[in-house]
Amino acid sequence: MSRHKKLASVLLALAIMAAYPASASTSTMQNKQAAPTVAEAEQFLKNAEERLAKLSGNAQRAAWVYETHITDDTETISAQASELALAAAGEIALQARRYNALPLSVESKRKLKLLQLSLSISDATEREAYTRLAASMAGEYGKAKYCRQAGDPTSCLDLGQIEKIMAESRDPALLKEVWLGWHQQAAKYKDSYAKYVALSNKGAREMGFLDTGAMWRSQYDMPADAFAAESERLWQQVKPLYDALHMYVRLKLRQTYGKDEVPKEGPIPAHLFGNMWSQSWENLYPLVKPQGPGASLDIGETLKNKNIDARAMTQFGEGFYTSLGMEKLPDTFWQKSQLTKPRDREVVCHASAWDLDNLTDVRIKMCITPTAEDFLTIHHELGHIYYDLAYRKQPHLFKGGANDGFHEAIGDTVALSVTPDYLHNLGLLKDVPDVSQDIGVLLNRALEKVAFLPFGYMVDQWRWKVYSGQAKPADYDKVWWELREKYQGVKRPAAMEVNGFDAGAKYHVPADTAYARYFIAHILQFQFHRALCREAGYIGPLNRCSIYGNKKAGEKYQAMLAMGTSRPWNEALKAVTGEEQMDATAILDYFAPLKVWLDAQNKELSKE
């Protein structure tokens, strides 16, 4: 699962998203000023955009250097650039309140809303501490290693090496060991995280929000509580499908590991899902795949046999977007992106997309390997890039996704079109299997997409509790595992450790990247896919639809991308789907044949 760019210093202050306005309050000083005018407000917005564009560009570049060359010096440089941007955004956010009551244009009123969705840490010392803590945690995560033997550096494993073990090993003792080993690393920055949370909350309260969690939930053109209710509605739509998949995987894991390792009911130990966070289960596919011949999208061996390297894999991704009528990537993309892991330095390998000048200096940062997973990840990351390019002519404050879930959904929508027909067209799949063999492909994709839904939902539920104070540092792990058991049906493979910080073992927690976007993105991508297939005139099983090469669908998609965040997200949704409400029934439509099969399998396997 790849994600959109995130500055090491967490520039929430520069988040460009659809926003519900913060509650306005006018200071004593402002009361003494002359009444503001429309002309003054327009000039203020012009100056603010120019200033933020410059500072955000500087901070992005500093963060890029830091994440591709992790040293103490680059960490400091990144933190300093972020602090300058944060200070400016907070100052501008407070000033923007002065103009809230003016009869401005729709565009200008929206800009004021976006400006006020910002942290404002007015104390310089605290602001510096906030940015340094953020950069430090990102660095600690990027450098973390689990050493199997104390004092022996040759036994130390980084996350990539541990993930490979998690994906390939079937030794439950080894899986448990490395799972625990990685999670222990996060305890190093638990205290830093608690301090960071306190400073972040202070900044959110300066802007009139109850806490940072409330500020995050207010980024969706609706009140914070309404967004929480909407998320629960969407989860309830897909829960029956997840429950069927969870039951099937449990039964197959019991066959593999035995009844002592996998309980008949209740939560399943988290280390057995082939993934460090049990957030996607596709590595279990060899254990759970249907019997008999079946279709497969695993092109890993083909990529290796054909010596298709990281650049060529990325060019395949670019080719999909250009087949829709979109532009070729700039030459600088190929010159400046990090496509493979350097041998001479520490880097953050977590896949991400970057827009360094809000124009055409776009890049991706990955450590690409010739696997089917990375092939899909490239299509995802390029979705961010093509979104960035599409809205580059918008004013600075509108250069962003309609909401943060949109930005994540764009490339994943394209990845849903990575079908047998598409891969065959590229020469990566020899034969196109019959539709009757699709259960295997659907199951594999469900292990990735459906399995992720409750994890995508619960991460920010945990953080909302942390930011609101419901989960104190002493209870971080307790609350984390309560939520994981409730929504995912997974449990910690060993007793919780004193001063543990299991949530911090997930990149997005120390990086302070809001996670609800990924849950929303999983809903939107299927909704987009269904609509674009309809636009392309496709008739047939939704999982077999690929919009590759369809200019009509591409034109409609591009028109929505070009809107950026200039309009509320439901208008952008309507531009593609004709619908104004997020709807998870597209997921149910896509996986409908699999649901029938899962129910039948569960009935039979339960008899054993």
Distance CA(505)–CA(456), nearest Å, equals 15
Q: Are residues 491 and 448 in the same domain?
A: yes
Q: How far apart are CA 530 and CA 409, in angstroms?
A: 13
> Would you say residue 573 lies in a domain?
no
- Which parts of the chain have pLDDT scores under 50? 1-31
Looking at the chain, the number of H-run helices and the number of E-run strands are 24, 6
Q: Do 542 and 476 fall into the same domain?
A: no
Backbone angles phi, psi at 359, to 5 degrees: -135, -95
For residues 351 and 380, what is the distance between their CA atoms, to the nearest angstrom? 10
Instruction: Report the 3 state secondary structure along 545-563.
Output: CCCCCCHHHHHHHHHHHHC
The pair of three-digit structure tokens given for residue 92, joined into one six-digit string: 């501008």
- Are both 225 and 274 inside the same structural domain? yes
Cα torsion angle, 75, 77, 80, 85, sign: negative
DSSP 432-464: ---GGGTHHHHHHHHHHHHHHHHHHHHHHHHHH
Q: State which residues form the domain around 557.
A: 300-432+528-566
Domains of the chain: total: 3
Three-state DSSP string of 37-85: CHHHHHHHHHHHHHHHHHHHHHHHHHHHHHHHCCCHHHHHHHHHHHHHH
Looking at the structure, do residues 127 and 15 belong to the same domain, yes or no?
yes
Q: Does 481 lie in the same domain as 606?
A: yes
Query: 457 and 413 share a domain?
Result: no
Alpha helix segments (H runs only) across 296-330:
300-305, 310-323
pLDDT at 293: 64
pLDDT attached to residue 295: 65
Residue 54 neighbours by CB distance under 10 Å = 14
DSSP symbol at 496: P
| End-to-end alpha carbon distance in the chain | 34
Please report whether residue 44 resides in a domain.
Answer: yes
Q: Are 480 and 589 in the same domain?
A: yes
Instruction: Let me know whether 128 and 244 are in one domain.
Output: no
Block residue for tokens 């090469």: 549
d(Cα 557, Cα 551) in Å, to the nearest integer? 10
Which of 142, 176, 205 is the C-terminal boundary of a domain? Answer: 142
Q: Which residues are catalytic?
A: 381, 508
CATH number (domain holding residue 595)? 1.10.1370.10
> Are 151 and 284 members of one domain?
yes
Confidence at residue 248, expressed as pLDDT on a 0 to 100 scale: 98
Residue 554, domain member (yes or no): yes
Q: How far is Cα 601 from Cα 578, in angstroms, rounded to an integer?
A: 37
Q: Give the pLDDT score at 436.
A: 80
- The answer to whether the pTM exceeds 0.85 is yes
Element at 245 (helix H, strand E): helix 224-257
Tokens of 522: 């999983």
* DSSP character string of 115-142: HTSS-----HHHHHHHHHHHHHHHHHHH
Q: Are residues 409 and 509 in the same domain?
A: no
**Which token pair is 274?**
């082939």
Where is 344: in which H helix or E strand?
none
Inside any domain, residue 522: no
Residue where a domain stops, chosen among 120, 142, 164? 142
Pair (292, 388) in one structural domain: no
Among 110, 142, 174, residue at a domain's last position: 142
**Strand 145-147, strand 156-158: pairing:** antiparallel
In a domain, 500, yes or no: yes
What DSSP string describes 518-536? HHHHHHHHHHHHHHHHHHT
Q: Which is nearest to 346 in space by CA: 540, 138, 570, 572?
A: 138
Is position 520 within any domain? no
Query: Is residue 470 included in any domain, yes or no?
Result: yes
What does the DSSP 8-state code read for residue 338?
A: B
- Mean per-residue pLDDT over the chain, rounded: 90
Report pLDDT digits (tens) over 260-303.
999 999 999 999 999 999 999 999 999 999 987 666 778 889 99
Does residue 323 sit in the same domain as residue 286?
Answer: no
Q: Is residue 213 part of a domain?
A: yes
